[in-house]
Structure 1
Amino acid sequence: MEKKKIAAQLYSVRKELAKNPEETFKALKEIGFEAVQLDGMRGHSPKEIKSLVDQYGFEIAGMHIKHDRFFHDIDGIIEEALLFNCKTIYDKYIDDEEQHLDGYVKTKQQLLRVQEQLKGLGFRVGLHCPEYDFNNQIEGVTVLDYITAPEYGLGIYAEPDTYWMSVAGKDPVEEFKKFSYRAPIVHLKDYKKGFDPKDMDNNLTELGSGDVRFDQIVRWGEANGVEYYCIEQDYSKIGMLHSLAKSFDYLLSI
């Protein structure tokens, strides 16, 4: 795997980014990252963040967009995506109040409408998958499977996440296999077995410190169209930048 395919999800450094964006981008560059995935501007203007992205030479490995914007702010999404020269956009997560059958149906219909509307501009629309997308089901399948299943030749891309799949008691290696050439960006977080699934303080850990078989994930990804392996660390005991550095070095080693 090439180094340039390893990206940092900026949600990981949300606090650092809010406080000092330039120092944050500088630190990520020093770790070795050449790509980042956007997750909001954290109180800064898109132009300011874009300037720093360019200054430090980062590629943009997709953008996470708030759920409601796909319903009410398509023009704003387009403007932001074009500013960052990134046409892979993900619904960050389905809002809690939409976590029911009607909400899932409505979400799929709207994301397909957006994909149909934007495909001529070269956009790819996808869905990120927190834990409830695996614990909840619709029509006998997971929410992610349902929403990304193609309809009439049009499909929503998946952004599978090793941690949330593990929280739901599933094997990420097997789950990833469903998304051959339909998951250009994947989320990597390690998971330690033996703790309560909701105990993120203890079951979420740096890559290589838990039980996810990342060697098999990467082998599958290299054969099935993965463009970026995005490291996300929601929580850290050793300092977020140290966690990201540890995960980066491990991923590079395999």
Structure 2
Amino acid sequence: MNNRRKFLKLGAVMASGAFLPFQFCSSPEGKSALVNNNAGRGLSNIGIQLYSVKDQMDEDVRNTLEKIAAYGYDTIEGYDGGKGIFWGMQHRAFKDMTSDLGLKFISTHANVFEGLEQKASEAAEIDLKYLICPYVGPQESMDDFKRLADEFNRIGQVCKDKGIRFAYHNHGYTFEPLEGEMPQDFLMENTDPELVYYEMDFYWVVVPGHDPEAYLRKYSDRFKLGHIKDRRKDASPGEADASTELGTGMIDFLPIIKTAKENGMDYFFAEQERFDNITSMESAEKNAQYLKNVKVS
């Protein structure tokens, strides 16, 4: 996950002029219109990517997860921190702890390029649904993405053989044109749908100027998981690290979530990586309250 921190430093790359207006992702009032209490059903799971509270996880795993459960989250997604995807615990012990707290451990980000077979085996043994590659970084040529597609197919086969699914989580760089092609489209079209799934980070589709709903429809049933991350209204176009509490930013999530559910997305995770005048745990609590009020038809 250190690679994710590294990516957020690539503001110069993201400021290259590839940003389009955000009209399509803001409500007429200029604020997110995620909450609609008048009609529709809520999300079937309220999830959080634990990277959002990484400092607390590093200090005290159980205490942090107890608070996460108390906030109303029932689903968690892990990450490959300094202590590994099970925070230094045996995989079964970690799963027992999360289950005792009423949390469904659905997926985890992981370095899938090292120790893949063991990670996939242990994850499958405790009924995780997905092992996810969170980052590969900008590539220099489309040939690099072609090699990556082949590698994803290989990783997906290993995971399938072990009894778990493999997915890739996008950042903005796959939505930046390269040599006349869109890397995200190339990956979608050159990976086996039975081996490689995708986790859409809505924020990192919007930031380069694309419409998440268009991609969800174009590649229906490929995006099985999603990150719900809002973007500050006052963020400059080249500002990469501008996430904020859900409902306070510029992204209108309601139609995105509705389209995602209609096109096969099963799991949604709140994620935040920047905190202004608020602690990460306070932010996690606010985001949980917001997601509990989501209503989609």
Q: TM-score, normalised by structure 1?
A: 0.86
Alignment of 1:58 with 2:109, yes or no, is no
After superposition, the CA RMSD in angstroms is: 2.4
Aligned position for 2:160: 119
Q: State the match for 1:128 in structure 2.
A: 169
Q: Percent identity?
A: 24
Q: Residue deviations 1:230-251, cap 9 Å, x none?
A: 1111121211122122222222
Q: CA deviation at 1:209?
A: 0.9
1:174-253 matched pairs, under 5 angstroms? 174-200=214-240, 203-237=242-276, 238-253=278-293
Question: What stretches of structure 1 of length at least 5 have no aligned partner?
Answer: none
1:77 alignment partner, one of 96, 119, 133: 119
Question: CA shift at 1:39, angstroms?
Answer: 0.4
For 2:101 and 2:263, locate their aligned partners in 1 and report how far apart those are by CA, in whole Å: 30
Aligned residue among 148, 155, 158 for 1:107: 148
Q: Deviations over 1:145-194 (max 9, x none)?
A: 22122556655212111111122122333333333211111111012344
Q: Which has the larger radius of gyration?
A: 2
Alpha-carbon offset, residue 49 of structure 1: 3.4
Separation of aligned partners in 2, 1:53 and 1:210: 31
Higher-helix-fraction structure: 1
2:64 is equivalent to residue 21 of structure 1:
no
- Aligned pair count? 248
Contact kept in structure 2, 1:37 and 1:62, CA below 8 Å:
yes
2:134 to 92, 101, 106: 92
Separation in structure 1 between the aligned mates of residue 125 and residue 238 of structure 2, nearest angstrom:
37
Distance across 2 between alignment mates of 1:152 and 1:20: 39
Greater mean alpha carbon deviation, residues 166-175 or residues 203-212:
166-175
C-alpha contact 2:95 2:105 (8 A) present in aligned 1: no
Contact kept in structure 1, 2:106 and 2:129, CA below 8 Å: no
Inter-partner Cα distance in structure 1 for 2:51 and 2:192: 34
> 1:169 and 1:19, CA in 2 relative to 1: closer, same or farther beyond 3 A?
same
Q: 2:157–2:195: 8 Å Cα contact kept in structure 1?
A: no
How far residue 134 of structure 1 moved from its aligned partner, in angstroms, is 1.4
The answer for the alignment partner of 1:37 in structure 2 is 77
Over residues 81-120 of structure 1, what are the superposed CA-to-partner deviations in whole Å (9 max), with x where a residue is unaligned? 1243213111111146x55433322211011012234334
Check conservation: 2:120, 2:162, Cα contact below 8 A: no
Q: Which runs of 5+ in 2 are unaligned?
A: 1-40
TM-score by length of 2: 0.75
In 2: Cα distance, 1:52 partner to 1:152 partner? 35
Aligned residues of 1:21 and 1:49 also touching (Cα < 8 A)? no
Displacement of 1:128 after TM fit?
0.6
